[in-house]
Amino acid sequence: MKNDVKVSWLKNDTVYVATIPQAPLPEGTVLVHNNVIPRRRLGANGFRAWTQKFDGRLEICTCKWAGVDLHGLDHYRLGGNRKTLGMPGA
C-alpha cells in the first residue's frame, strides 16, 4: 500500500510548498490545499498546500484562502463534502 501512494505522488509531481508560489506555474501544474479550514499560515492547524499536475480529483476552490495574496493564481482543493469541512459555501 505504501508503495502505491508513493507512485501516485510521483505521477502527479506533488511538491509541498512553504510559501505561495509566484505565478505562473508550469503548464498543467496547479496550486492545491487540503480540506482543513484555510489559515493565513501554512501548517497551522494541519493546513497544507502543494503544487501538482491537475487531475480529476480536484475542484476549483473559492475559499479566499484566509485573505492571503495568491499572486493571481487560481487554486484547488481535494474533492470532499464542504459542509462537513466547515468551509464557505456549505
Give residue limits of the domains in the chain.
2-79
State the pLDDT confidence band at 5, using cuts at 50, 70 and 90. very low
- Cross-strand bridge partners of residue 60: 76
State the pLDDT confidence band at 80, using cuts at 50, 70 and 90. low
Question: By the 8 A CB rule, do 36 and 65 touch?
Answer: no
State the pLDDT confidence band at 76, using cuts at 50, 70 and 90. very high
Question: pTM, whole model, 2 decimals?
Answer: 0.72
Task: Pick the more confident residue, 83 or 25.
Answer: 25
DSSP code string of 28-75 = TEEEEE-SSPP-SSTTGGG--EEEEE--TTEEE--SGGGG---TT--E
Task: For 9-60, write each residue's pLDDT tens digit.
Answer: 556 788 899 888 877 889 999 999 988 888 888 888 999 999 999 988 899 9
For 43, 56, 63, 87, 90, the CA distances from 37, given in Å and listed in that order, are 11, 22, 9, 6, 12
Residue 40: per-residue pLDDT: 85
Q: How far apart are CA 47 and CA 19, in angstroms?
A: 12
